[in-house]
Structure 1
Amino acid sequence: MADSATEFVVLGKINGAYGIKGWVKVYSYTDPMDRILDYGKWFLRRDGKVKPVEVNRGRSHGKGMVAQLVGCEDRNAAEAICGSEILVAKQDLPNLENGEFYWFQLVGLVVINQDGVRLGTVKEMMSAGSAHDVMIVDGDTDSVDREQRLIPFVEDVYVKSVDIAEQRIVVDWDPEF
């Protein structure tokens, strides 16, 4: 069980029951998607409650993943946890190389262009399939406007620098876009 000071990161969600033996369909935010199985201890969050679970087995299935959790032995048990977010403790995440970032680290950062124009803050990140990731940037009270922008997260092309300590991302992006 995690204590109340444990910080979590959302890595996916349970989006359905699979079969009759307690397996669940998993939507993974990790890249590659089966990396979510590297974390043997998950926490499920639903309706504001967090409970620890252990992954018994898992595998790729079609375009997604399926997993069997310890203690989840039939379809009714699997259906009971559908809609739960899959969390891991932040301290269990592997350390990254210099210049690499987890998506959760980018959310909330201020985005400015190379001319110093504030475009807003990163609301969320999304995958654009095999192409590239995309930052969803919402305009705020201090930005050039209140527009939402979708900016490809392509380093050295659109994303010129990311400074986690300064909470800032500099982009090559015209405010008119």
Structure 2
Amino acid sequence: MDKLKIGVITNTFGIKGELKIKSFTDFTEERFAKGSKVELLIQDKYKEMTIQSAKEHKGMMIIQFKGYENINDVECFKGVELYINKSDLHPLKNGEYYFFELVGLTVVNETGDPLGTVLRVEEGLAHNLLRIEKLDGSTGLVPYNPAFILRVDMAKKIIQIKVIEGLL
């Protein structure tokens, strides 16, 4: 079963078993809602947990798992990653993609010549950025913006971009 990482536990918060989560999802409220299930990857095994409570605090999520009400019960979770099943993802609108779907796609120019491969999607201030590994092994950034992204073809596994001077 394919899993998708949605966050990592960075530390404890207070003494009542709450944990600080660095979220990797655009659907924070949904993924960390009370009653939601997540899986913790502990020593190469997944442990399903139910979220008892969640709130946002200074850009981090603060959550508490059902049955864990003491700091001593959760200290062992520091650094542990949180996952969901990819089958639990809801469909996006036409033309929208999850970040993980773009990784590995070939980037081509307007005429279809390959330029490189998407390594990852990075969050920028104005918009997201595609980190591209170019054919020479170096990397570059392409704004994920309609001014540069001409077409995403998931069937052909390509992203066609408009290349301007200095972009790559």
Structure 1 segment 18-167 matched on structure 2, within 5 A:
18-31=13-26, 33-38=28-33, 40-129=36-125, 131-139=126-134, 143=135, 145-154=136-145, 156-167=146-157
Q: Secondary structure at the match of 2:111?
A: coil
Distance 2:75 2:67 in 1: 13
Distance 2:62 2:21 in 1: 5
What one-letter code is carried by the residue in structure 1 that aligns with 2:160? Answer: V
- Shift in Å, 1:62: 1.7
Distance 1:30 1:44 in 2: 15
What one-letter code is carried by the residue in structure 1 that aligns with 2:92? Answer: L
Q: TM-score, with normalisation over the residues of structure 1?
A: 0.86
- Shift in Å, 1:165: 1.6
Q: TM-score, with normalisation over the residues of structure 2?
A: 0.90
Q: Secondary structure at the match of 1:111?
A: strand
Distance 1:72 1:138 in 2: 43
Distance 2:42 2:155 in 1: 32
- Shift in Å, 1:87: 0.7
Residue 11 of structure 1 pairs with residue 2 of structure 2 = no
- Shift in Å, 1:115: 2.9
Distance 1:82 1:105 in 2: 28
> Is residue 136–residue 148 contact of structure 1 (8 Å, CA) maintained in 2?
yes
- Structure 1's unaligned 5+ residue stretches are 1-5
Distance 1:13 1:59 in 2: 15
> Is residue 28–residue 34 contact of structure 1 (8 Å, CA) maintained in 2?
no
Q: Secondary structure at the match of 1:77?
A: helix
Over 3 Å counting, the alpha-carbon distance change for 1:18 and 1:173 in structure 2 is same
RMSD over equivalenced CA pairs, Å: 1.8
Name the % identity.
31
Give the aligned partner of residue 3 of structure 1: none
- Shift in Å, 1:174: 4.5
Q: How many residues align?
A: 166
What one-letter code is carried by the residue in structure 2 that aligns with 1:147? Answer: S
Over residues 38-83 of structure 1, what are the superposed CA-to-partner deviations in whole Å (9 max), with x where a residue is unaligned? 4801011244322111111101112211000123222133221111
Distance 2:43 2:163 in 1: 39
Q: Secondary structure at the match of 1:11?
A: strand
